[in-house]
Amino acid sequence: MKIVVVGSGGREAALALVLARTAEVVVSPGNPGIPGSVDTDPEHLDADLYVIGPEQPLVDGLADRLRAAGKLVFGPGADGAQVEGSKAFMKDLVRAAGVPTAAYATFTEVEPALAFLRQLSAPWVVKTDGLAAGKGVFVTDDLRAAEADVRQKLSGSSFGPAGQTVIIEEGMTGPEVSLFALCDGTRAVALPPAQDFKRVGEGEVGPNTGGMGAYSPLPWLPDNFADDVIARFVQPTLDELARRGIDYRGVLYAGLMLTDDGPKLVEFNIRFGDPDSQVVLLRMTSDLAVHLAEAAAGDLHTPPTFSDTAAVLVVAAAAGYTGPVRSGDPVEGLTAAGAAEGALVLCAGVGMGDDGHLVTAGGRVLDVVGQGPNGATARARAYAALGHITWPGLLHRTDIAGEIPT
């Protein structure tokens, strides 16, 4: 089987690595650190299966155009991509589906938004309606800061048109969990849960990012957690999509918060998470190509299987992240890091320097992964490998998976 993976980051590096166990893989556009990368429009490539990684091309209708050309595609069409393309659409969808989630309201004007905000208690949650690369959610215990964020978003100064509709939500507290479900239009199959670390700073402080690290499995969850999420969150949403005439074939990524009142949905996304899917996909022992092809064809029937091995991922980011970053710094130590026991390195935001050496070329530059028989070993291996890697201003958190409950 020949597969085209669309995208260029750490998620696509992991997808390509796992798919390449059984298939020929091309990554479009990829990056110089991902084998099989080609600078060719995926619509001009021929393959047996197309796997679309990022949300933007899905929202833009790439899956629809490929399907119209007779291609087998893993990823929703533009109608299903509204689940992530519009948080207002997503919240209305899950409310109709009866999914447990935070109370909310949607606004396009400042004064009604502020009036609703002031009725709530801390923490205050303000979200952009449109895509914001994982950075459009503002959570704070400071009402004045929340009010300022509402004004900035609705004015367009924060996220342009994507932020000119906002969703204000009731604050929820508790640990967060990611669960990815493969969907074939009518049926959903869960992958093992993971947890990611979204804030740029130690102890989950500072601005939201695309993700600074992740780990899987989560030994502190009940054994039936994944089945419960499918039954209470994913399947009702998939059924509601079908009721609206949307044939959803791809990933439904449930971000969940474990509140004192039980699990509640933070949001659904339409693609594998980055970096939390990497630590799940790398543990897969069955054939990922088969699972994705079955989902794309509308016939999921082969159960996925996973090793008991733990995986911990630490993101190495460029100087300046989460703001404007410096590019072009030589990335040193990749060979030694990749040779470290139980470790591998996934290239995300890298480019090729004039001397043929990999250089920084994005915010999140590398995913450094440790694997081992338990979380503590995997974590130690990830940080040991990361210790070999250098560039000026390299940024990473030192507390990823630092307190894994048993």
Whether 391 is in a domain gets the answer no
Verify that 280 and 232 share a domain, yes or no: yes
Whether 62 is in a domain gets the answer yes
Verify that 60 and 144 share a domain, yes or no: no
Interacting residues of 276 by C-beta distance below 8 A, sequence separation 6+: 178, 194, 195, 196, 211, 214, 216
pLDDT at residue number 136: 80
Per the DSSP assignment, residues forming a β-bridge with 312 are 215, 370
Q: Kind and range of the H or E element at 2?
A: strand 2-7
Exposed, middle or buried, 45 (CB in 10 Å: 0-12/13-18/19+)? middle
pLDDT at residue number 133: 67
Verify that 189 and 153 share a domain, yes or no: no
Which residue, of 30, 62, 78, is where some domain finishes? 78
Which residue, of 169, 187, 217, is where some domain finishes? 169
| Residue 69: strand, helix, or coil | coil
Residue closest to 85 by CA, chosen among 57, 65, 109: 57
Verify that 164 and 190 share a domain, yes or no: no
pLDDT at residue number 350: 98
Verify that 293 and 190 share a domain, yes or no: yes
pLDDT at residue number 162: 66
How many domains is the chain built from? 4
Percent of the chain scored above 70 by pLDDT?
Answer: 98
Q: How far apart are CA 254 and CA 266, in angstroms?
A: 8
Q: How far apart are CA 306 and CA 336, in angstroms?
A: 28
Angle at the Cα of 223 from the Cα atoms of 273 and 199, rounded to 5 degrees:
30
All residue ranges of the chain with pLDDT < 70 are: 133-135, 162, 404-406
Whether 405 is in a domain gets the answer no
Q: What is the CATH number of the domain that holds 117?
A: 3.30.1490.20
Q: What is the CATH number of the domain that holds 20?
A: 3.40.50.20
Whether 85 is in a domain gets the answer no
Q: Residue 14's domain spans which residues? A: 2-78
